[in-house]
Amino acid sequence: AIVKLCGPCTSFESSGGSIGSLLNIIRTLSVVLLTSESGYDHMNEDRRKNLLALKYECLLALEALSANQAVQNTIISDAIPALIQFLTQLVEGVNPSTACDKDDIICSALNTIHCLISLPSASSVAVKDIISSLVIILNCGGRKSDTRLQEMSIDLLHAIAFGKSGISRNGGLLFSGVLQSVASLLGGTGIPLKMLQSLEIIELIISDIDSTSPTRRPTGNDAMLLRFVNDMTSQEQFLKALIATMVATKGSGELSVRPLYGPPLLFQEDANSHFSTSNAIKLLFDMSSLLCSDATGIGKELFLRLLMLKNVRGAAETVAFTCSQFIHILMDEANGICVPQNPADRESFLDVKLPVMRSLLLEGLSTSLDECMSSDSSREHAEALICDFRIPQLCLSFCQSKSVSQAAFELYENIVLPLPIDKMGDLLLADESSLITLFDLVTGQNNLVHDLEHSKQTFAYTLGNLAKSGLLSVAVERFGVRNNAIAALCASIQGSEGGNIDDTENSLPRICLESLAAILCNNKGNTVGMEITALEARTMAAAIGKDLSRTLLDRFFTQASLETTFDEAIDHSLDRSAISQSAEARLLCSLASFPESLDVLRKVGGLEAIGLIAHEGELAAIRAIHNACELSPKSVIDVDAHISIMEALIHVETILSADPSNASRLREVAILCLQIVANLSQNAVTKLAVQSAEQSYGCVTAAECIISASSKQVSETWKVDPAPVVVVKTEANGTLISDDLDEDTSSIGKSLNESTQKTNGSLKLGDLVLIDSITSSKQTPPSKTRKGKKIDQLEGIVAYLGPVKFKPGNDWVGIKLIGASAGLGRNDGCVQGVRYFDCGDNKKAGLFVKTNTVKKQNFQAEAEAEAIEETEVRVEVVTEEKVMTKPLVMQRKRVWGQLLLKDDLTLERASFSLLLSLSVSKPHRDLMMQSMNLIDEMSYIIQVPNAVSDLRCSALDLLVSFTPHLDKADRRLTHLFSTIVESRMRTLQISREKREQTESKQLIGLAISGLQNLFCPFMDAEEKSRSMKLSSDLFMYLTDSLYKGPKSRRVAVSIEDGQLFYCLASFLVRSLGIQSLVESILSVKFVSSVIRFIMMTAGVASFDRNIPILVEIDGGDYWNAALSHYLFYLSCNMTQSSQEHLGMSYELLIPDVEASPLYFRFCLKHIAESKLGAASVSAKQILANLN
């Protein structure tokens, strides 16, 4: 009572004997604790109990005195050793007292020691000996009192471990057996109340072990590691409990596995502890990495045996889940659960511990999943686990890590690769990073797998399967990684051996090529069209253009060798077609669709390969050759691509005959081939190669067949019956070979008769008609004469149909008279103040008649009738059957006719373009000119209605090109050209539609050119007179319409106008020297028109009727040339005889024409001074004549 009362209150500074007494008492209490009970009489039980009670009171007294700072040093120096020795005696000794009394005293001793060691002055040495007693207490359990002692011992150990650093370092706790005792306690079946403190003690021991050997290599300091491994061999249950705790961590999705590792550690929240499940997982990682770093291999074998649940049946699912969960936890290398907080420890963690653990876990996962996938009952669970933990992405990522790449690749190859492609695609293509990683691994970039080539092949196989399924292209587009994909795949293709892509299906370059083609295809499943930008095309051409070209050339050459080696009866077209439709062929043709990449490919043999593909009729290749013609025509010739194009065109007929359903594609093939051959034929450098090619004659035949089919289509559409070819055949003495004329001539005569029969309501505006002779009191229409036959008719165009106000009836026809009939009418389209139609300046060009007096004209039938009428010999109808059987001819027309479209004339235009370009070559021109059907069919096309008007100029241009090379007269052409001039002049007179006028001017210009070529050698006097009269009438109409028309008409002149005036002028000049022709066209009106033309084109800007001609835009060269011709013509006709023929002198004529006095002279002077050459000379001559 005195000690309890005085001890805590007596201060160190107090005077007297109080402190000394307390110190003596502490020593006395220490002696009492060490007093042996064995020295007394055993039979005196009361005395023994009193001594034990006295010791108990001494413990309480020491605990109370420990609060007094004045006596703490004495307590530490004297009492603590005594307490430790006393506790040791209690724990190790056998006491006669009851176990209950003993446990109470031990608890009191533990409490007292706990209080004393917490004193600041308590040294580590003083409390070190207590650890062994605590270990003994921890190892002795089974009763409730033992549990209480163990909990107190854990508390005391925790206080010693974290309060006395000298004891916890350098293996102090480890070699004292604390690790084994605490782990054994945690691994038991019970749930210790002090679990958190126990785990913290173990964590402290592990950190102590780890700090002594950071590299985990066998050294002299590994005694602690060996002791740790030795202790853990008997603590499997504790390790399993840690694994079970990790498995039970949240975040494993909906998957669940059997708890084969046993129960997990259950944590009770403790405000005084920071330990949690995460710390338990980190502890598992640290202990596992230590076990696996053991040089003896015992620790690694122990960990794997526990992890893999060896000797446990049906454990594969649980093991696979455990490994996956552990790997998933270790994925975060920056802020993960197991990442050390101390930066100094992270290097060892990242370089040593983490790779070792990942490698072991990947091996375990591969083994367990392999077992699961081999069983039908567990396969579904395994696939779900693979999806849930994203195993494929994990493998791809780890293949870029040197330490675990091999284990990750084996897992990928054995488990991921056999998965169904849809599941694999959903996983590998779920995010952008995985897709880019896959591309990198295929190319070998950051691929750290030991067998690099084998791994690249394996990943390429995956890529190929994804491409075939259509998943790859969709993912590339979704993530916007097209550039990454192209670069990676091109790099793999570029590395092919010898620059030749192996045709083996599973070779790396081949798979990458197929994958690249799938990505570039413009939609899923499309194997033809590819969507490529110009930049992509140039990049790929530079990277793999040479490889693609070499591969295709080698394949074609090999195929050619096979075709010459094996039986020629075998059809090899399918093999060549397979090469042409291969991925490398499609890709090469797509690259060549851009000028930038085409130039690159041309330098590496790409154009030659494309030419071979085009030979098989592949549209993309033909397009590429078409582009090459614009870029470098000579390069096409250099690689004989023009031969391939011509053969592709010739083969169209054969292919179309076999498969008419492919007509749309073959139509485009034919158009492109025709255009290519035509373009090359027009080029000065390449035309000789085309003309000298044997295949060019087949192209001419193809073009002729197309035109023939088009003509047949036209005749069916417009009900035009093509006439047979008429050939005059006579003996040398002029007698007939055949006399069967009646049937043929009667049929043509019947055609003519039908063409001029009386109309009954079938007239329409614009029809060309003949009107029966009409007499007038003032004038009588002139008569036409044909071979002595007198025909009294007027010629005109239907300008009005319907009722009139000045006469009863609804069958009136308003006629605008033309040609020689112009001026013989009775009005200008206006009667009694009502305007029915317009006749322009001619006041007597209008006429109204009844429909029963009108006859429609048919120029073709009329021409045929005239030819028969004027030919004094019998004729024989010679048709194409003489050369080729009629069924074959009709069959060819039907085949090519399948390519024609009524609303698209591109094919016909291309055919005419080819014929025109090759017509400059004599052999090709002779071939065309020998085809009489071709000439007739072009004649039909020229004269059909407007539905095919776009072809008229081409057809006429081709016919005109024949005229300089005729060796005998062809009355058909002469009549055709004259008819065109006459009919188109009428169109110019009545039509105000710009398109029709432009076309008419073009046709007239061509027809005039044809007449010029036929004029001297083959025309008789009547034909010359007719053509010259038509030309002069047209010239007068065109000139007067410009001169008298509004200014806007002169401002709007076009190059077609200049060309037409030039053609007319050059043709009219041909009349000079032939007096009869000069007199036939020389009139006051004609000379007036010539003077007006000279004034309009003199270039006098102040003249209000001046035509402002721009050389670059309006064809000024044509206008100047026409001016020179008309000046020359006028200068040649300023003779006395000409003036007599005119009936007046130029001195009187010119003032009536010129707008102001002497203006014509002013224009001539301006021409003489400003123009050069013939125009200036002729102007001076005219001025001299006038003066």
Tell me the pLDDT tens digit for each residue of 918-966: 999 999 988 888 876 777 777 777 776 654 666 788 888 888 888 888 8
User: Could you read off the pLDDT of 990-1038 as tens digits, one per residue?
Assistant: 888 888 888 888 899 999 999 988 887 788 888 888 999 999 999 999 9
Query: Which of 436, 438, 425 shows the shortest CA–CA distance to 395?
Result: 438
Q: What is the pLDDT of residue 954?
A: 85
User: Could you read off the pLDDT of 533-557 as tens digits, one per residue?
Assistant: 999 999 999 999 999 999 999 989 8
Looking up tokens 């917490």, which residue turns up? 118
Least confident of 201-205, 221-225, 252-256, 937-941: 252-256
Other C-beta atoms closer than 10 Å to the C-beta of 656 total 22
Contact between residue 153 and residue 103 where contact means Cβ atoms under 8 Å apart = no
Categorize the per-residue pLDDT at 48 as very low, low, confident or very high, splitting at 50, 70 and 90. Answer: confident
H helix or E strand, kind and range, residue 708: helix 695-718
886 pLDDT above the threshold of 90: no
868 pLDDT above the threshold of 70: no
- Residue 897 makes CB contacts below 8 A (sequence gap 6+) with 709, 710, 712, 713
Q: What is the pLDDT of residue 538?
A: 93
In Å, how far are 255, 274, 275, 319, 339 from 278, measured between CA atoms? 20, 10, 8, 20, 11
Q: What is the pLDDT of residue 1015?
A: 84
775 pLDDT above the threshold of 60: no
1136 pLDDT above the threshold of 60: yes
907 pLDDT above the threshold of 80: yes
Please tell me whether residue 677 adopts helix, strand or coil conformation. helix
Cα torsion 377, 378, 384, 387 to 10°: value is: -130
In Å, how far are 919, 988, 1009, 1100, 1167 from 1114, measured between CA atoms? 29, 20, 20, 17, 19
In Å, how far are 133, 722, 894, 934, 1036 from 901, measured between CA atoms? 108, 21, 13, 20, 41
Q: What is the pLDDT of residue 949?
A: 65
Tell me the angle at which helices 354-373 and 298-307 cross, rounded to the nearest 10 degrees.
40
Categorize the per-residue pLDDT at 355 as very low, low, confident or very high, splitting at 50, 70 and 90. Answer: very high
- What percentage of the chain reaches a pLDDT higher than 90? 27
Q: What is the pLDDT of residue 274?
A: 53
Q: What is the pLDDT of residue 128?
A: 67
Tell me, letter by letter, the H, E, C secondary structure of 23-47: HHHHHHHHHHHHCCCCCCCCCCHHH
User: Could you read off the pLDDT of 800-852 as tens digits, one per residue?
Assistant: 888 887 888 888 899 988 877 777 888 888 887 777 888 876 778 888 898 88
Q: What is the pLDDT of residue 570?
A: 61
Least confident of 322-336, 373-387, 847-861: 847-861
Burial environment of residue 1102 by CB neighbours within 10 A (0 to 12, 13 to 18, 19 or more) = exposed
Query: Which of 67, 53, 49 shows the shortest CA–CA distance to 4?
Result: 67
CA distance 626 to 628: 5
Take residue 229 and report the two structure tokens written for it.
Answer: 């491994």
Other C-beta atoms closer than 10 Å to the C-beta of 23 total 17
Please tell me whether residue 728 adopts helix, strand or coil conformation. strand
**On the CB side of 232, how many CA atoms lie within 13 Å of its CA?**
29
Contact between residue 354 and residue 346 where contact means Cβ atoms under 8 Å apart = no
Q: What does the radius of gyration of the chain's CA atoms come to, in whole angstroms? A: 57
Query: Which of 122, 213, 212, 137 shows the shortest CA–CA distance to 176?
Result: 137
1113 pLDDT above the threshold of 80: no
Name which residue leads in pLDDT, 394 or 136: 394
Contact between residue 924 and residue 700 where contact means Cβ atoms under 8 Å apart = yes
785 pLDDT above the threshold of 80: no
User: Could you read off the pLDDT of 609-646 as tens digits, one per residue?
Assistant: 999 999 999 999 999 999 999 989 999 999 999 999 99
Contact between residue 448 and residue 401 where contact means Cβ atoms under 8 Å apart = yes
User: Could you read off the pLDDT of 659-669 as tens digits, one per residue?
Assistant: 888 899 999 99
> The pTM is what?
0.67
